[in-house]
Amino acid sequence: MRRIAALYAIEQTAKDLKAETRQAYRQQHAKPQLDAFHAWLLDLRPKVLGASGTLAAIDYTLKRWAALIRYLDDGRYPIDNNPIENAIRPIALGRKNWLFAGSESAGKRAAAIMTLLATAKANGHDPHAWLTDVLTRLPTTLDRDIGTLLPHTWQPAG
Q: Is residue 129 part of a domain?
A: yes
Q: Is residue 141 part of a domain?
A: yes
Question: Is residue 149 exposed (0-12), middle (13-18) or buried (19+ Cβ within 10 Å)?
Answer: middle
Q: Is residue 155 part of a domain?
A: no
**Residue range of the domain that includes 89:** 82-149
Q: Is residue 30 part of a domain?
A: yes
Question: Is residue 130 exposed (0-12), middle (13-18) or buried (19+ Cβ within 10 Å)?
Answer: buried
Report the greatest alpha carbon distance in the chain: 67
Please give the Cα distance from 44 to 31 (Å, whole number). 20
H or E element at residue 87: helix 82-93
Count H helices, E strands: the chain?
Answer: 7, 0
89: three-class secondary structure by DSSP: helix
From 43, 73, 103, the end of a domain falls on 73
pLDDT means over runs of 10, the chain (158 residues): 95 95 97 98 93 92 96 94 79 68 78 86 92 94 93 88
- For the entire predicted model, the pTM comes to 0.61
Both 42 and 14 in one domain: the answer is yes
- The predicted pLDDT at position 97 comes to 67
From 73, 98, 128, the end of a domain falls on 73
Please give the Cα distance from 114 to 48 (Å, whole number). 44
